[in-house]
C-alpha cells in the first residue's frame, strides 16, 4: 500500500471537513465505530444507528455487534430517524478526497443521505490516484448508480457563508481499514 | 436602450447589499479558482471539453437517439420534446395520472427556462424547490440572480424575514440556524413527495447515464425517496462517450466554486430500486427548445459548449456591479445574454447585450472555450441588421464613415470646446452631456493634431521603416504620445512614416454592431497602410492594433467580403503593438535605455486588448523596468478600467464604479505613477484622477520610455 495515496487522501478530505481515521484490522475499526455510537448515545429506533451490510461485517456475530440501538434492518423510516448511518465504500480517490460507491442498493443511499452522521468504511488498499483511475474500474454498464461523496453536505447559499450539513450528513467520518478489501484491489 | 432597463440597472447599482456581496465574491473567486486549478493543465482540460461538446453539438439528433435507446434498455422512459409547452404538459399529465400532489425539485436551470413551477402549481401540484437558495427565492417569489448561487443577492436578514413571513414567525438572521431550519422543513417534503424533478449536468449517450452534481445532497434525496423521478435535460448536455465526463467533472466544480469536486456526484443509469423494493419510474425529458437551431448556426453553435459553471459571471466587471436580475428571468451574465437571445428571442437580448464591455475576461476562463465577447458582438450585429441602428449612432457613424468630414469635425471641435476646456481637460459639459464628465474629465481636443505635428518632426537617417497608425485618440487628443513613439523608434534606427489616408480603426462601429461602417473604415486603412513601403505597421493603441491584426479580417469574413481578405491578411502580418515591437528592438540590441539611476515606482495597468487579445503583458513591464522604473503590482492589474471605447459614453453609470475600483487599486499601491499602453485607458484613468484629486500621474508606456533613451 502506497502511503502517499493515503496521506494525500487524508489532506484533501480533511480540507473539505471530513474526518479521516485509519486502523490496521476490522476488529480495531469496529471498536472505534462502536465507541462512536456510545459517544452519540444512540438508542433503539428511532434514534438508532443503522448499518447497511457489506463485507466488513463478515465473520462478526452477535457477540461483537450486539450493541443497543444498532440495527441492520435499513428502511426509509428507520433511516429518517437514525442518528448514525454506516456503509462501506468501494473506492476512494486521493486526488480529491472522494469516496466512491456502487450505490444501486437503496439501503446504501438511505444510510448516507438521511442520518446526520455518516460513517464510511473503506479498505485502505482501495485508494486510487484520481478520477481516470476510477473510471477504468467502475462503469455505468455495471451499475445503475455510482455515488461520489466528497466531504459532508454543504451550502454557501446564504451570503456565501460555508455551512455544513444542509440536506445530507453534517459529519462524514471516514474509517480506513488496512485489512479490508485487499483481495479485490 | 429602454428606460425600464436603464432603471433596473440603476436600481441594481444602488443596491449596496448586491454590489457588496458580488464584489467580495468576485475577488475571492479569483483566488479560489486559481488554487483549485493548481497542478491542472486548464488549457488541456478545456480543449478536451470543447472537443467533446462541439462534436456532440454537431450530432445532437444522433446522440439523443443513442441516449434514448440506451436509457430505455435500462428501464427509463425517454421523451424528446422540441418546445417548452410539451415538456410542461408531459410532466403535469404524468403527475396527474399517477395521483401525485407533492413534488420536490433539485436545482434545474432547464426547468427555470420553461417556468415549470408556475405551470405545475396552476395544475394543482405542490412544488418545493429543495436547493436552499432556490427555496428561499421560491418562497419570496423571486428568480435566481446567478446560475450557481441563485440567492447571492440576498442578506441573512432578508432570508430570516422570508422564512418568518412565509414559513414560521420568529426566525433570526443566524446563518447556521437558518440552514438548520430549512433542513427540517424540507426534510418532511422530501419524505412526503411522490415525484422528484431534477436537471442533469451531463447526459452520456454511450451509456444512457445522467450525471448530477450538487453540494447540498438534495439531488440524492430527490432521486432516492420519491417513487417517480423526472429529469429535464437540455440536449446540449449530451456527450457521446462516458470518458467525456472526466474533463467536465474536472472543470465544473473548479470553475464554478473553486472546489476540487462537489460534495456529491451521482451517475444514474436506468432504473434503480425504490425504498420499498419496487423499481423506480424514471422519465428523462430531452428538451430541444432552440438548441438544434443553435447548433446549425455557424457562429452560435459554440455556445452549446457551455457547461453552466457561471465563471463568465464571476469574472465580469459589469456583472459584479449589476448582478443577475437585470439580465432577465433565467440565464444571466455573458453566456446568459447569448442563451436568452436564442431560448427566448433575439429581441430579448437587445438591452442586455449592451452591458458587455468587451474586456475579454470571460473568454480566458471559459471551460468550454466559448468566445463569449465575439458572440455578443455577433448579437449586436444581427440586432443592428434586424432593427437598424439608433438614430444618433447612425448619425455619428455617417460622419466617421467619411474620413475628411470626420477629421474636419474634430478640428472644429478643438475650437468649439474652448469654453469647457482647461489645462487639457474638459471637466464639465452642459445639459444632456453632463453625465459624461461627472466621474472623469475628458481630454481636450488638441489644437494641432498629430498628423500636422508629425510634419514638423525631423528624423535621422534610418535603415528600416515603420508606418505609424495613430488611432483617433493619439491623433486628436494625445499627439505627444505619437511624438514619443517616433522618438523611441528613431533611436532604434527605424524611420516613421505617417500615411495620411488612415482613419478611425472601425472599433467603435464594430463594437456597436455597425459592421458595414467598420468594413468601410477597414478598407480605407488597409489601402493607406499597404501603400507605404515599410517593414512594420505599429500602433500605440491596443484596440487599434487588434483592429489591424484581427478585426478587419473578422469583419470582412462576417460580411462575406472575401475579396478583401488577402490585403487584410497582408496588413495583419505587418501590424504590431508598440511595446512588442520595442521589446523586439531591445532584444536585438538596437535600443538601450539610460542606466544606473533608480527611478520612481510605477504600477502597470493591463489594457484589455493588450493582455487578452495580443497577449503582451510582459513586454511593457520588462521595458519599463529596464528603463529604471520600479514595478509595484496592483490588485486586479488586468481588470478593465471601465472605458471600453464608446461604452463609457453609453453606460456612464456602470463605467464610473468600474473606474472607481481601478483608481482605488492604483492608489493602494502607493506608487505615484500608473503606466499603460492604451490611450483609451489613459483617457479614462487620467480623467478619473483629475476628478478624484489624488496625486497619481497617468502615462503611456511610450512616453516613459522616450524619456529614458540613451
When mean pLDDT is compared across B71-85, B341-355, B484-498, B558-572, the lowest value belongs to B341-355
Please, which pLDDT band fits residue B445 given cuts at 50, 70 and 90? Answer: confident
Who wins on pLDDT, B429 or B537? B537
Put simply, the answer to whether A158 touches B156 (Cβ < 8 Å) is yes
Tell me which chain B residue has its CA closest to the CA of residue A77: B191
pLDDT band at B649 (very low <50, low <70, confident <90, very high): confident
Nearest chain A alpha carbon to B249: A131
Are B685 and B602 a contacting pair, CB within 8 Å? no
In a mutational test of the B interface, the residue from A95, A144, A167 whose CB has the highest number of chain B CBs within 10 Å is A167
Is the pLDDT confidence value at A185 over 60?
A: no
User: Which cell numbers hold the place of B168?
Assistant: 414560521
Q: How far is B262 from chain A (nearest CA, A)?
A: 7
Confidence at residue B430, expressed as pLDDT on a 0 to 100 scale = 60
Q: ipTM beyond 0.90? A: yes
Mean pLDDT of B474-501: 96
Q: How far is B24 from chain A (nearest CA, A)?
A: 10
pLDDT class of A15 with cuts at 50, 70, 90:
very high
The reported pLDDT for the residue numbered B473 is 92
pLDDT higher than threshold 70 for residue B185: yes
Q: Which long-range contacts (CB under 8 A, 24 or more apart) does B177-184 make?
A: B178/A158, B179/A155, B179/A158, B179/A163, B179/A165, B179/A166, B179/B132, B182/A166, B182/B132, B182/B135, B183/A165, B183/A166, B183/A167
Reported as a pLDDT band with limits 50, 70 and 90, residue B316 is very high
Fold of the domain spanning A3-177: Rossmann fold (3.40.50)
Best residue of B105, B134, B179 to probe chain A, by most A CBs closer than 10 Å: B179
Q: Does A98 touch chain B (CB under 8 A)?
A: yes
Interface membership of A128 toward B (CB under 8 Å): no
Average pLDDT, chain A: 94
Break chain A into its structural domains and give their ranges.
Answer: 3-177
- Provide, as residue numbers in chain A, all residues whose Cβ is less than 8 Å from the Cβ of B245: 135
Taking only residues 151 to 170 of chain A, the set having a beta carbon closer than 8 angstroms to any beta carbon of chain B reads: 151-161, 163, 165-169
pLDDT at B565 over 60: yes
pLDDT of residue A47: 85
Mean pLDDT (whole number) for B643-658: 91
| Residue count (chain B) | 710
Distance to chain A for B2, nearest Cα, Å: 32
Please check whether the two domains, B55-131+164-292 and B601-706, share a CATH topology. yes
Residues from chain A that touch B186, judged by Cβ atoms under 8 A, are 167
pLDDT band with cut points at 50, 70 and 90 for residue B418: confident
Coil, strand or helix at B654? helix
Contact B266 A145 (CB under 8 A): yes
- Band (pLDDT 50/70/90 cuts) for residue A45 is confident
Residues of A in contact with B150 (CB under 8 A): 157
Split at pLDDT 50, 70, 90, the class of B429 is: low
Per-residue burial over B530-545, b if 16 or more Cβ lie within 10 Å, else e, is bebebebbbbbbbbbb
Q: Residue ranges per domain, chain B?
A: 55-131+164-292, 450-587, 601-706
Cross-chain CB nearest to A140 (options B216, B269, B274): B269
Name the pTM for this structure: 0.93
Kindly report the nearest CA distance between residue B110 and chain A, in angstroms.
20
Residues of chain A with Cβ-Cβ distance to B279 below 8 Å are: none
**Minimum mean pLDDT range among B51-55, B95-99, B263-267, B406-410:** B406-410
B450-587: which CATH architecture?
Answer: Up-down Bundle (1.20)
Q: pLDDT digits over A151-160, tens only?
A: 999 999 999 8
Fold of B55-131+164-292: Rossmann fold (3.40.50)
Contact A135 B242 (CB under 8 A): yes
**Alpha helix stretches (DSSP H) within B347-496:** 361-365, 372-387, 391-400, 403-416, 450-453, 471-476, 479-491
The answer to whether B220 contacts A145, with C-beta atoms less than 8 Å apart, is no
User: Residue B638: which region, alpha, beta or left (left: phi > 0; alpha: psi -120 to 50)?
Assistant: alpha
Comparison of pLDDT for B513 and B50, the residue scoring more: B50
Question: B472: closest CA among B535, B411, B394?
Answer: B411
Beta carbons of B467 and B526 less than 8 angstroms apart: no
Work out the minimum CA distance from B307 to partner chain A, whole angstroms: 19
Please write the tens of the pLDDT for every residue from A49-84.
999 999 999 999 989 998 889 999 999 999 999 999
B-contacting residues in A 41-60 (Cβ below 8 Å): none
Distance of CA B412 to the CA centre of its chain: 37
Residue contact A149–B187, C-beta within 8 A: no
Q: Is A115 on the interface with B (CB under 8 A)?
A: no
Burial B28-53 (b: 16+ CB within 10 A, else e): ebbebbeebbeeeebeebbebbbebb
> CA of A165 to nearest chain B CA: how many angstroms apart?
7
Q: What is the mean pLDDT of chain B?
A: 93
Q: Give the fold, CATH level 3, of B601-706.
A: Rossmann fold (3.40.50)
Please give the full DSSP string across A100-115, using - where no structure is assigned.
EEE--SHHHHHHHHSS
Let me know: does B169 contact B228? Beta carbons within 8 Å: no
Q: What is the rounded distance in angstroms from the CA atom of residue A129 to the CA atom of residue A8?
A: 9
Whole-number Å distance between alpha carbons of B229 and A32 = 38
Q: Is the pLDDT of residue B579 over 60?
A: yes
Contact A158 B179 (CB under 8 A): yes
Contact call for A148 and B159, based on CB within 8 A: no
Interatomic CA distance for residues B220 and B202, integer angstroms: 16
Cross-chain residue pair A147–B265, CB shorter than 8 Å = yes
pLDDT, average across residues A112-139: 97
Amino acid at each position: 500500500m502506497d502511503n502517499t495515496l493515503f496521506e494525500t487522501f487524508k489532506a484533501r478530505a480533511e480540507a473539505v471537513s471530513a474526518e479521516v481515521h485509519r486502523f490496521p484490522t476490522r476488529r480495531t475499526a469496529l471498536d472505534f465505530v462502536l465507541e462512536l455510537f456510545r459517544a452519540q448515545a444512540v438508542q433503539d429506533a428511532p434514534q438508532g444507528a443503522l448499518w447497511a451490510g457489506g463485507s466488513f461485517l463478515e465473520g462478526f456475530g452477535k457477540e461483537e455487534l450486539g450493541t443497543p440501538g444498532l440495527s441492520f434492518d435499513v428502511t426509509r423510516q428507520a433511516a429518517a430517524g437514525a442518528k448514525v448511518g454506516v456503509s462501506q465504500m468501494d473506492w476512494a480517490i486521493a486526488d480529491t478526497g472522494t469516496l466512491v460507491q456502487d450505490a444501486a442498493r437503496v439501503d446504501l443511499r438511505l444510510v448516507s443521505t438521511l442520518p446526520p452522521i455518516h460513517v464510511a468504511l473503506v479498505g485502505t488498499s482501495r485508494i486510487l490516484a484520481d478520477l481516470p483511475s476510477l473510471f477504468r474500474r467502475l462503469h455505468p454498464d455495471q451499475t445503475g448508480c455510482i455515488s461520489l461523496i466528497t466531504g459532508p453536505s454543504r451550502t454557501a447559499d446564504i451570503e456565501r457563508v460555508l455551512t455544513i450539513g444542509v440536506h445530507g450528513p453534517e459529519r462524514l467520518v471516514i474509517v480506513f481499514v488496512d485489512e479490508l478489501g485487499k483481495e479485490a484491489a | 436602450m429602454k428606460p425600464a432597463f436603464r432603471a433596473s440597472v440603476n436600481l441594481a447599482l444602488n443596491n449596496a447589499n448586491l454590489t457588496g456581496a458580488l464584489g467580495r465574491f468576485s475577488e475571492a473567486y479569483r483566488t479560489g479558482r486559481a488554487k483549485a486549478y493548481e497542478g491542472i493543465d486548464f488549457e488541456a482540460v478545456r480543449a478536451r471539453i470543447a472537443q467533446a461538446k462541439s462534436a456532440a453539438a454537431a450530432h445532437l439528433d444522433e446522440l439523443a437517439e443513442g441516449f434514448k435507446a440506451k436509457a430505455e434498455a435500462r428501464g427509463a422512459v425517454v421523451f424528446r420534446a422540441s418546445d417548452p409547452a410539451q415538456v410542461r404538459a408531459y410532466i403535469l399529465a404524468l403527475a396527474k395520472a399517477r395521483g401525485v400532489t407533492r413534488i420536490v425539485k433539485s436545482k434545474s436551470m432547464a426547468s427555470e427556462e420553461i417556468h415549470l413551477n408556475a405551470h405545475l402549481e396552476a395544475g394543482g401540484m405542490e412544488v418545493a424547490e429543495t436547493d436552499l437558495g432556490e427555496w428561499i427565492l421560491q418562497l419570496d417569489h423571486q428568480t435566481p440572480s446567478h446560475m450557481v448561487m441563485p440567492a447571492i443577492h440576498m442578506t441573512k436578514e432578508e432570508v430570516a424575514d422570508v422564512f418568518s413571513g412565509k414559513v414560521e414567525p420568529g426566525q433570526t438572521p443566524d446563518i447556521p440556524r437558518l440552514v438548520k431550519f430549512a433542513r427540517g422543513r424540507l426534510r418532511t417534503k422530501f419524505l412526503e413527495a411522490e415525484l422528484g424533478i431534477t436537471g442533469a449536468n451531463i447526459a452520456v449517450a454511450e451509456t444512457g447515464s445522467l450525471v448530477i452534481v450538487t453540494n447540498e445532497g438534495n439531488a440524492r434525496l430527490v432521486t432516492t425517496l420519491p417513487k417517480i423521478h423526472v429529469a429535464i435535460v437540455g440536449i446540449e448536455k449530451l456527450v457521446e462517450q462516458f470518458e467525456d465526463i472526466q474533463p467536465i467533472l474536472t472543470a465544473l466544480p473548479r470553475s464554478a466554486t473553486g472546489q476540487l469536486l462537489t460534495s456529491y456526484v451521482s451517475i444514474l443509469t436506468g432504473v434503480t430500486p425504490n425504498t420499498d423494493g419496487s423499481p423506480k419510474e424514471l422519465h428523462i425529458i430531452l428538451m430541444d427548445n432552440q438548441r438544434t437551431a443553435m447548433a446549425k448556426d455557424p457562429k452560435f453553435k459554440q455556445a452549446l459548449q457551455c457547461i453552466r459553471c457561471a465563471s463568465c459571471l464571476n469574472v465580469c466587471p459589469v456583472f459584479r456591479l449589476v448582478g443577475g436580475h437585470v439580465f432577465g428571468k433565467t440565464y444571466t451574465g455573458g453566456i446568459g445574454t447569448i442563451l436568452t437571445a436564442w431560448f427566448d428571442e433575439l429581441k430579448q437580448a437587445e438591452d442586455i447585450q449592451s452591458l458587455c464591455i468587451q474586456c475579454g475576461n470571460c473568454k480566458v476562463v471559459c471551460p468550454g472555450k466559448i468566445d463569449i465577447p465575439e458572440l455578443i458582438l455577433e448579437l449586436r450585429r444581427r440586432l443592428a441588421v434586424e432593427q437598424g441602428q439608433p438614430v444618433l449612432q447612425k448619425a455619428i457613424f455617417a460622419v466617421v464613415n467619411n474620413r475628411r468630414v470626420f477629421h474636419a469635425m474634430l478640428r472644429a471641435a478643438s475650437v468649439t470646446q474652448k469654453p469647457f476646456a482647461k489645462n487639457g481637460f474638459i471637466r464639465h459639459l452642459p445639459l444632456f452631456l453632463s453625465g459624461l464628465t461627472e466621474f472623469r474629465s475628458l481630454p481636450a481636443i488638441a489644437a494641432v493634431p498629430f498628423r500636422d505635428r508629425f510634419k514638423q518632426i525631423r528624423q535621422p537617417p534610418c535603415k528600416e521603416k515603420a508606418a505609424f497608425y495613430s488611432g483617433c485618440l493619439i491623433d486628436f487628443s494625445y499627439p505627444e504620445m505619437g511624438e514619443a513613439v517616433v522618438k523611441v523608434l528613431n533611436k532604434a534606427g527605424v524611420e516613421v512614416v505617417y500615411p495620411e489616408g488612415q482613419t478611425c480603426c472601425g472599433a467603435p462601429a464594430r463594437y456597436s454592431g455597425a459592421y458595414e461602417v467598420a468594413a468601410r473604415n477597414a478598407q480605407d486603412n488597409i489601402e493607406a497602410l499597404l501603400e507605404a513601403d515599410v517593414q512594420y505597421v505599429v500602433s500605440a493603441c491596443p484596440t487599434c492594433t487588434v483592429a489591424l491584426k484581427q478585426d478587419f479580417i473578422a469583419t470582412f469574413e462576417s460580411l462575406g467580403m472575401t475579396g478583401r481578405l488577402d490585403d487584410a491578411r497582408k496588413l495583419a502580418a505587418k501590424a504590431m503593438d508598440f511595446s512588442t515591437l520595442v521589446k523586439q528592438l531591445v532584444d536585438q540590441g538596437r535600443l538601450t535605455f539610460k542606466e544606473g539611476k533608480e527611478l520612481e515606482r510605477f504600477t502597470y495597468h493591463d489594457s484589455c486588448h493588450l493582455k487578452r487579445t495580443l497577449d503582451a503583458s510582459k513586454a511593457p513591464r520588462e521595458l519599463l523596468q529596464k528603463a529604471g522604473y520600479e514595478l509595484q503590482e496592483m490588485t486586479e492589474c488586468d481588470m478593465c478600467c471601465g472605458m471600453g471605447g464608446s461604452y463609457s459614453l453609453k453606460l456612464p453609470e456602470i463605467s464610473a464604479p468600474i473606474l472607481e475600483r481601478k483608481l482605488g487599486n492604483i492608489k493602494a499601491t502607493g506608487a505615484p505613477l500608473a503606466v499603460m499602453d492604451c490611450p483609451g485607458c489613459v483617457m479614462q484613468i487620467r480623467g478619473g484622477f483629475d476628478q478624484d484629486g489624488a496625486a497619481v500621474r497617468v502615462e503611456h508606456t511610450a512616453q516613459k520610455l522616450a524619456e529614458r533613451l540613451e
